[in-house]
Structure 1
Amino acid sequence: MSLSVWLSLVLVCLLGAMSPGPSLVVMVRHSLAGGRLHGIVAAWAHALGVGFYALLTLLGLAVILKESPMVFTFITYAGAAYLAWLGIKSLRAKGGVAAKLEKGEKTTLLEAARDGAMISVLNPKLALFFLALFSQFVAIGTDTFSRSVIVITPFLIDGLWYTLVALALSSSRMLETLKQNAVLIDKLCGLVLLGLAARVIVTL
């Protein structure tokens, strides 16, 4: 796997982690209500769920690529359409990030880990996201090392991103900055997702 391909994978994984949704709600709730350690525990439990989904998706797409290239091509186009839909939805959002910044009740570390893992494992959108994402990388990285990188990358990025969220939310100034720039964050994410969708179509 070339550096440019890996950087594309990193970018999509980062956008996926940053996009507002139920996972962000859980991470923010535990970080604000339970404290920094609760947020970090929830973050890496969530990352384990992401890694699990990544592995299952990679193995499934590899089998489809080998047995039915036409079906794999269809999945790739469908994945591009899904990325484009996410981009349009993000462009039309009016500060979705800010809407997700809400507090919750204090919980134990075990509950933080449970919530972090379950919100990723039970999120069907995560499976769709990986289908959209991995379809363009599976055919490129066929060796064991490349496939390991494809699985480990989203795991690490997800864990590191939500760890950063937990650390940032310990500062009230940072929280206020996120709220003030929520609309801009949505617009930038939307543009990048649309660009990535176009790249998938062009490179097929």
Structure 2
Amino acid sequence: MTSMAQIAAFGGVVLLGAMSPGPDFAVVVRRSAVSGRTHGMAAAAGIAVGVFAWVVAAATGVAALLAASAVAFTVVKVVGAAYLLYLGIRSLHAAWRGGGALKLDVPDPGGRGSWAAFTEGLLTNVLNPKAALFFVALVPQFLGSGVSVMALSGVALAGTIAWFLVVANVVSTLRKVFARPAVRRTVDGVTGAALIGLGVKLATSTRP
């Protein structure tokens, strides 16, 4: 397999991983629905940077150390699960509170800005030890034969952000629908329940 073919194959696998439903997807959908396109895209960018970091970490052996160390894995797992539970509880609280009609000319109802959305996406990805295991298993298979770490990291970054930008733009296009209080409460409630479920699943997971 040529270098370009290896890079393309790696990008395809990473893209399929990004498309799988999970906390990253839930965060981008909620941010895009509630705060709009800009914040959804910022969350997407944060997730993509997290993926970039995991590829580099896997290639340099840092992620392998995390995967091999029971203590390190547990610490990241607990912190990541706690963060997902925090996001889920916050979403459920927003659903319970209602919040009235969304004013579409206000970019962020929470007043926290795009940087907060970016950080939310980044932390959601980076604090998921399952991502470490995924890339530890994947990256070594594509290194060598002229394929550089930066090439793999770059294609992972590009593929991930491309997918989540599509999600952010599609959801934000329907934002007038999400502006309805009943729809917003449903989105917040479903997203909150999903994030809490994912947090519990992560907290109870074990290393393979």
Query: Shared topology, TM-score over 0.5?
Result: yes
Q: Structure 1: 5+ residue runs without aligned partners?
A: 32-38, 108-114
Amino acid aligned to 1:183? G
Please say which of residues 132-141 and 145-154 is displaced more in the overlay. Answer: 145-154
RMSD over aligned CA atoms reads 4.3
Amino acid aligned to 2:196? G
Residues 1:51 and 2:57 are matched in the alignment? no
Distance 1:100 1:17 in 2: 20
Cα pair 2:26 2:191 within 8 Å, conserved:
no
Cα pair 1:55 1:151 within 8 Å, conserved:
yes
Deviations 1:106-135 (A, max 9, x none): 78xxxxxxx64x4455x2x54433322332
Amino acid aligned to 2:183? T
Tell me the CA shift for residue 90 of structure 1. 5.1
| CA pair 187-157 structure 1, distance change in 2 beyond 3 A | same
Tell me the CA shift for residue 61 of structure 1. 4.5
Tell me the CA shift for residue 186 of structure 1. 1.3
Q: Structure 2: 5+ residue runs without aligned partners?
A: 1-9, 108-112, 144-150
Cα pair 1:14 1:157 within 8 Å, conserved:
no
Report the counterpart of residue 11 of structure 1 in structure 2.
21
Report the counterpart of residue 139 of structure 1 in structure 2.
136
Distance 2:72 2:172 in 1: 35
Distance 2:153 2:204 in 1: 24
Amino acid aligned to 2:165? G
Tell me the CA shift for residue 139 of structure 1. 1.0
TM-score by length of 2: 0.58
Distance 1:177 1:27 in 2: 10
Report the counterpart of residue 103 of structure 1 in structure 2.
103
| CA pair 15-72 structure 1, distance change in 2 beyond 3 A | farther
Tell me the CA shift for residue 42 of structure 1. 5.5
| CA pair 197-8 structure 1, distance change in 2 beyond 3 A | farther
Distance 2:73 2:98 in 1: 31
Tell me the CA shift for residue 28 of structure 1. 3.8
Counterpart of 1:198 (choices 161, 186, 204) is 204
Report the counterpart of residue 84 of structure 1 in structure 2.
81
Report the counterpart of residue 35 of structure 1 in structure 2.
none
Distance 2:180 2:88 in 1: 23
Amino acid aligned to 2:65? P
TM-score by length of 1: 0.59
Counterpart of 1:177 (choices 164, 168, 183) is 183
Amino acid aligned to 1:191? G
Tell me the CA shift for residue 176 of structure 1. 2.9
Structure with the largest fraction of helix: 1
1:140 is paired with a residue whose SS is helix
User: Percentage identity across aligned positions?
Assistant: 8
Distance 1:60 1:49 in 2: 16
| CA pair 167-63 structure 1, distance change in 2 beyond 3 A | same
Tell me the CA shift for residue 166 of structure 1. 0.9
Cα pair 1:87 1:192 within 8 Å, conserved:
yes
Cα pair 1:58 1:151 within 8 Å, conserved:
no
Tell me the CA shift for residue 52 of structure 1. 3.1
Deviations 1:73-127 (A, max 9, x none): 34433232123213433564462454697436478xxxxxxx64x4455x2x544
